[in-house]
Amino acid sequence: MDEQALIAAAVRGELRAFNQLLQHHQALAYNVAYRMLDDTDAAADAVQEAAIKAFRGLKTYRGGSFKAWFLRIVTNNCYDWLRARGRHGVSSLDDLAEDPDYAEALVHPGEGPEARALREELSAFISRSVNSLPPDQRLTLVLADIEGVPYQEVADICNVPLGTVKSRLSRARARLRDLLMQRAELLPQRYRLENDIDGR
């Protein structure tokens, strides 16, 4: 059954059809929620709550991309969670908790201990840097650069014009680049700027 048929069945109240729809999009929804909230339990709760809201609100669904519609509900839940906990303005990377399992999952069995330690430190630093972005920039970066969602879909999910998506993405990338240049010693040699290699 194609997605439109599943949506039509779900609108008629068929829970099985709705569950099939969710299965297609739940991994992406969870990844986005986790990147936004940096908390596994909160991310799972945000997706679960979004699923309930989506099922209750299916009669208001007006067509278009179900994925974008559902992810908009998920991201709105994430914004609510961030507002409730006052985490909009995290200003210091040191205030953010590290996730040691994140770097561990990327370990290549053939690398040496020094290379592994550097890569883990870089991975943790990138994760903290992404988490330090304002929520709107973080969401845009996660959707476009980490999850590979096309720009127009990102605009639909965020309910903003395409130009806003590009602007947020540009600012997020520039901020990450600035943060990485502050710790250029963590970057592989090929990614360092010429003047950083020469010690300015």
Interatomic CA distance for residues 158 and 60, integer angstroms: 18
Interatomic CA distance for residues 192 and 184, integer angstroms: 6
For the cut 70, the answer to whether the pLDDT of residue 190 exceeds it is no
Q: What is the mean pLDDT of residues 178-195?
A: 71
Structure-token pair, residue 6: 């599943």
Interatomic CA distance for residues 151 and 70, integer angstroms: 17
Q: What is the mean pLDDT of residues 127-151?
A: 92
Per-residue pLDDT at 1:
58
Q: Is 122 helix (H, G, I), strand (E, B) or coil?
A: helix
Q: Give this prediction's pTM.
A: 0.67
Mean pLDDT of all residues in the chain?
80
Asked if residue 186 lies in contact with residue 121, where contact means CB atoms within 8 angstroms, the answer is yes
User: Where along the chain do its domains lie?
Assistant: 3-197
Per-residue pLDDT at 110:
54
Most confident of 6-10, 34-38, 94-98: 34-38
78, 70, 76: which is closest to 18 by C-alpha?
Answer: 70
CATH of 3-197, one of 1.20.810.10, 1.10.1740.10, 3.30.930.10, 3.40.50.300: 1.10.1740.10
Q: What is the mean pLDDT of residues 32-39?
A: 91
User: In this predicted model, what pLDDT tens digit does every residue of 56-96 receive, in sequence order?
Assistant: 888 888 878 889 999 999 999 999 998 887 744 443 334 43
User: In this predicted model, what pLDDT tens digit does every residue of 99-109 receive, in sequence order?
Assistant: 444 444 444 44
Name the CA dihedral angle for 103, 105, 109, 114, rounded to a multiple of 10 degrees.
10
Per-residue pLDDT at 116:
66
Could you tell me which residue, 43 or 192, shows the higher pLDDT?
43
Q: What is the mean pLDDT of residues 175-188?
A: 82
Q: Is 124 helix (H, G, I), strand (E, B) or coil?
A: helix
How many residues make up the chain in this entry? 200
Q: What is the mean pLDDT of residues 27-55?
A: 92
Q: Which band of pLDDT confidence, cut at 50, 70 and 90, is reported for residue 153?
A: very high
